[in-house]
Amino acid sequence: MEDKTIGVIGAGSFGTAIANLLAENNKVILFARNQKVVDAININRKHKKQEIHLNVSATNTPKEIADKCQLIFPIVPSSNFKLMLQTFKDYLTPRHILIHGTKGLHVEKELVKDLSLMKEEIYTMSELILKETGVVRVGCLAGPNLATEIAEKKLAAAVVASDYDEVIELGKKALSSNRFMVYGSNDTVGIELAGVLKNYIAIAAGMTSGLGYGDNAKALLVTRGMTEMIYIARSLGYSPEAFLGVAGIGDLMATCNSQLSRNFRVGYFLTQGKNLAEIIKEIGEVAEGVKTLQLIRALNKYGFKAPIANVLYHVIFEGMEIKKGVNYLMNINVEADVDFLSK
């Protein structure tokens, strides 16, 4: 690479944690839109309850990151991802390499009840980067990466996926340390889908905890949830292999068992009588699983089996009683345990 300074776009909890992680090996420029955030990072050396590494500096100037960094990690919510790309696109060229860390999907249409979508109308973040900018070399970062634990320097791992081996190697070199292991994959969209679909299963896991159903019930949920995720992926024409590794099973386990997970907390708080608006306000950051449920609903023409997603949709958007939804799921007739391998 021409320049060893690495850019991070997005100063949320995860973006800040990744900037600090990258700073163990590299100089890092962290982009934040708000000047107060930039000052907190550059002057106070603290943001999102995290001490900022000395190798990290902040800016609110897109051109500065584009000029100084060839490798850039965009880490912003999916709802803001297109706007971010439009802000940066005049400064991004084919020389740049973007490895995003956003677990979400983009759709141009408003997500309303009874909306029907073709899969071609839904973009992963890597597909959106290719559509909106002149960048060619694109990748994604996915895995069981709870921001709080990364910030606390606890052991973790992730996958860097890209069609380009060069992108994978640069991502691994930039991120790898004795506390953060990085694997590689050429199945970019599969890895992205695994990171997206687990979000709604984590909402259901939060509900099982909130209702006091115990570890056996959660294990059942996670197992059937993985089966459901694979059914959806296969129905859309994607390989299930990405779901069986760190970005699939690994991420699913972490988000379904941690109260640090935003999606888990959505499900838990719903069982405590709070409504969705109250929960989103309390969490303070986007829980992608809610949007994922709407998108799965809109893809119903593909005929995949998604009973967990269907019940969650009824609970969150149509007022179904949570215990009634759980009883429905417990009475679904399943022919075999590992049925997705034979169909």
Number of neighbours of residue 113 by Cβ within 10 angstroms: 10
Residues 267, 203 contacting (CB under 8 angstroms): yes
Residue in 48, 82, 103, 198 annotated catalytic: 198
CA–CA distance, 32 with 106 (Å, rounded to integer): 22
- Type of residue numbered 74: P
Cα torsion 202, 259, 84, 31 to 10°: value is -150
CA–CA distance, 57 with 259 (Å, rounded to integer): 31
Of 204, 147, 174, which is closest to residue 330 (Cα–Cα)? 204
82 is catalytic: no
- The separation between the first and the last C-alpha atoms of the chain, rounded to the nearest angstrom, is 45
- Longest CA span, the chain: 61
- Type of residue numbered 317: F
Which positions are catalytic? Answer: 198
